Amino acid sequence: MSEIKYSEKEKAILNGMINLIKSGANPYLVKVSDIAKSAGVGKGTIYDYFQTKEEVILKAMLLNISNEIDLLAKRIDAKSRFKEKYYEVLSSIVENLQNKFSTFNILISSGKLPEFKDNHMQGNHHCSSHRNRIEAIIDQLLSAGYKEGAIKDIESKAYQRMVMNGSLFAFGNYLTMQKHYPGISLQEAMDYSYKIIMKSLN
Which CATH number characterizes residue 169's domain?
1.10.357.10
- Asked if the structure places residue 33 within a domain, the reply is no
CA neighbor of 138 nearest in space, from 56, 51, 67, 76? 76
Longest dimension (CA), the chain: 59
What is the span of the domain harbouring residue 88? Answer: 60-200
152 near 202, Cβ under 8 Å?
Answer: yes
- Asked if the structure places residue 30 within a domain, the reply is no
- Asked if the structure places residue 34 within a domain, the reply is no
Q: What is the pLDDT of residue 40?
A: 94
- Asked if the structure places residue 14 within a domain, the reply is no
Tally of structural domains, the chain = 1
- Asked if the structure places residue 21 within a domain, the reply is no
pLDDT digits (tens, 9 = 90+) for 25-80: 887 788 999 999 999 999 899 999 999 888 898 888 888 888 888 999 999 999 99
Q: What is the pLDDT of residue 118?
A: 53
Q: What is the pLDDT of residue 97?
A: 80
Q: What is the pLDDT of residue 114?
A: 44
- Asked if the structure places residue 172 within a domain, the reply is yes
pLDDT digits (tens, 9 = 90+) for 71-83: 999 999 999 999 9
**Axis crossing angle, helix 103-110 with helix 82-98, rounded to the nearest 10:** 30
pLDDT in single tens digits along all 202 residues of the chain: 445 678 899 999 999 998 998 888 887 788 999 999 999 999 899 999 999 888 898 888 888 888 888 999 999 999 999 999 999 999 998 988 877 666 656 655 544 444 545 554 445 455 667 778 888 999 999 999 999 999 998 889 999 999 999 999 999 999 989 999 999 999 999 999 999 999 999 9
- Asked if the structure places residue 54 within a domain, the reply is no
